Chain A
Amino acid sequence: MWPGVLLIAPALTAIALLYALPLLRSLITAFVGEDGHPTLGNLAKALEFYGADIVYSILVALGSLALIAFVSIAIAGYLTLGQSRWAVPLLRWIYRWPLFIPFIVAGQTARSFLARNGVLNTLLTDVGLVDAATATSLLDWRGLVLTFAWKQIPFVTLLLAGAMASLDRSTIEAARNLGAGRLRCLIEIVLPQVRPQLLVALVLSLVTIMSVLSVPVMLISGNPTMMTAMMAHRVTFYGDYAVANALGLFSYLLTAVAAWAYLRMSLREKSN
């Protein structure tokens, strides 16, 4: 037994010191008052001050995930079922680019693209879809949803297209042979078979969205904003780790609920 423990000891120590311990500390800090006694005051304060931000974060995350899922399914589906000799290779080549661009660059790009006088509004004005006088900035929840989606779609598509490519191709051909068009084939034959991989990719994307600081800081001025921005605010301006950690607790809870829902679903599928 001991040689085995020795072998995993470095990894275990790293996890314990770098991950488990800080997590535990931050959780405990969230329940300790200034006087050093256990309290729920931090949680109450976090809810009172930042309740709107928590709701806002949840809605932005859900909106982003919905957009990510829709676009990723469309791209991966086209990569799998598309027949064009040039469009499929081109799309396969181009869709991964945002993967290699950091969030902070994506945030900066989104600022200049989505602002009131940004590239998007200029283009829309030029083609006559938007009147320059009434053009509005998209640097609000819409900007967040678009930026998160732009960054995460390649990641989800990568996992999804890989899963679709490893499906037994004949299950797709059988469906088409028996009368299913390509869209029905995607929705009724391909998608149900790759659902576990889609859910994993979305849960991982949720964790990423809940932990990105640069994008909300760069895109959103004022309230409400994402929880990460408010946690940073609480720490940098007030040095108040207790309330920041209490806010962090809601982040954990949110991702934990998603992970739990996914695990439950995959267990139920296994038992069938």
Chain B
Amino acid sequence: MGTEALSLEEVSIRLGQSLILDGISLQVPAGSFTCLLGPSGCGKTTLLRAIAGFAPLSAGDITVGGRSISNLAPEARQTAMVFQSYALWPHMTVAGNLTYPLKLRGLSKVERDRRAEAILSLLGLEGYGPRAVISLSGGQRQRVALGRALIIDPPLLLLDEPLSNLDASIRRSLRGELRRLQQKVGITTIMVTHDQDEALAMADRIVLMRQGRIVQVASPEALYSAPADLEVAHFLGVDNVVDLRPGDPVAAGGALAGFRTADARVFTGEAPAGLDAVLVRAGTVTACAYAGGSYHVSIDLSDQAGNESLSGASGAALSALSSVPVAPGTRARLSVPAPMLMSFGADSRLLQGIRQ
């Protein structure tokens, strides 16, 4: 069948009074790996289900390879979906699960078995065919679910949080495995996730969603270094926000600066040399916890005159890393190198991202 491009035009879904998806337009190139990323309730899973045909559109159109699929029943769409719960059929064996889609397409038993063998070896599950699916581990079930979707050679692969039910270590190894497999097969893939690390590690392109709308479409690198606004930045791990003061090393016109804890350092004594292009804030250490390799230090700025929050949005508590433990109550300073700062306007839109 070969892989196909997907196009969404002004897709909206209304459930009663609430607008679940609000005018989503998106072009997904053939063979690409796109992640739908966003907090829970943002509509990302609904969008995936709309593509598969399980959520009827209120408006808009979905096309695969130029053909509209909006009015087709799920079984006629040829989009292969992998569900969060894997959704393997418990009354069938591994081979039964893999070959059922082929049986539906009227393939001969010989051909079905041949393809099941091929898929099992692709997934590293040789010899698992006759096993009951309930005897498999979570990671193995996930692979069978993926194989069941790939066996029909679909134009489009839809993944609904496929790794979220797995242990952290299996998740990390499967992440790479899934990505390699996708590149090997070359299939257009759309994955829903709420895990930013997963999206950054796997996707060619990330679609960030919020309240039924697309906020930003960017490559992982671009999204990480230049999030569209403060909320997106916060979702992508920018956990510190400060009000800017005259003399801070950021672009003119900015009202707020954001940075990641891992990019900030704490020091208690004299300022280290060469601190020209650095944002510095002083405050009192409120907590210090070992975070593996370094200490995670929280600093409260609010007691210092002139540090009153301007916007109210930016808290007076910041955090940074330290190579040595710092006792709570100690006066300390926090510094962030200028290239690691992102500046935002008063409307919280991004003015300047990370410069690398």
Residues in chain A within 8 A of chain B (CB atoms):
168, 170-171, 173-181, 184, 188-189, 192-193, 272
Contacts and interface: CB of A to CB of B under 8 A. Distances in A.
Contacts of B148: 174, 178
Contacts of A192: 91
Contacts of B78: 179
A163 to B, nearest CB: 13
Q: Most chain-B CB neighbours within 10 Å: which of A168, A178, A181?
A: A178
B329 to A, nearest CB: 53
Contacts of B84: 170
Given A178-B104, A180-B104, A193 B75 contact: no
A179 B101 CA distance: 7
A210 to B, nearest CB: 31
A178 B52 contact: no
B87 A176 contact: no
Given A168-B85, A178-B101, A192-B91, A173 B74 contact: yes
A184 B100 CA distance: 11
10 closest A-B pairs by CB: A170-B87, A174-B87, A178-B101, A192-B91, A179-B104, A170-B83, A176-B74, A177-B81, A171-B87, A176-B75
A77 to B, nearest CB: 16
A188 B148 CA distance: 16
18 contacts: A173-B54, A173-B74, A173-B87, A174-B88, A174-B89, A174-B145, A174-B148, A175-B89, A176-B75, A177-B54, A177-B77, A177-B81, A178-B80, A178-B148, A179-B75, A180-B75, A181-B73, A193-B90
Q: Most chain-A CB neighbours within 10 Å: which of B77, B89, B149?
A: B89
Given A173-B74, A178-B101, A178-B148, A193 B83 contact: no
A193 B52 contact: no
Nearest to A174: B87
B114 to A, nearest CB: 18
A178 B149 contact: yes
A36 B224 CA distance: 95
A174 B104 contact: no
Q: Most chain-A CB neighbours within 10 Å: which of B54, B74, B132?
A: B74
B52 A177 contact: yes
A168 to B, nearest CB: 6
Q: Most chain-A CB neighbours within 10 Å: which of B77, B101, B105?
A: B101
Given A173-B74, A173-B87, A177-B74, 20 more contacts: A171-B89, A171-B90, A173-B52, A173-B81, A174-B83, A174-B87, A174-B88, A174-B89, A174-B145, A176-B75, A177-B79, A178-B80, A178-B104, A179-B75, A179-B78, A179-B152, A180-B75, A181-B73, A192-B91, A272-B132
A175 B148 CA distance: 10
B160 to A, nearest CB: 9
A181 B75 CA distance: 6
Interface string B44-82: 000000001110000000000000000001110111110
B91 A193 contact: yes
Contacts, number: 65
Interface of B: 52-54, 73-75, 77-81, 83-85, 87-91, 100-101, 104-105, 132, 145, 148-149, 152
A193 B133 CA distance: 14
Contact of B88 (A171, A173, A176): A171
A93 to B, nearest CB: 21
A272 B91 CA distance: 10
Given A177-B81, A181-B75, A168 B87 contact: yes
Contacts of B149: 178
A177 B89 CA distance: 13
Nearest to B90: A193
Given A178-B80, A178-B152, A272-B132, A170 B104 contact: no
A205 B77 CA distance: 41
Contact of A177 (B80, B85, B132): B80
Contacts of A177: 52-54, 74-75, 77, 79-81
A1 B79 CA distance: 61
A179 B77 CA distance: 8
A269 B76 CA distance: 34
A255 B23 CA distance: 61
Contact of B105 (A168, A171, A173, A179): A179
A181 B76 CA distance: 9
A189 B89 contact: yes
Contacts of B100: 175, 178, 180, 188
A193 B134 CA distance: 13
A192 B89 CA distance: 10
A190 to B, nearest CB: 10
Nearest to A173: B54
Contacts of A189: 89
Contacts of B104: 178-180, 184
A84 B81 CA distance: 24
A218 B100 CA distance: 50
Contacts of A193: 89-91
B239 to A, nearest CB: 34
Contacts of A170: 83-85, 87
Contacts of B132: 272
A223 B80 CA distance: 60
Nearest to B81: A177
A61 to B, nearest CB: 28
B91 A174 contact: no
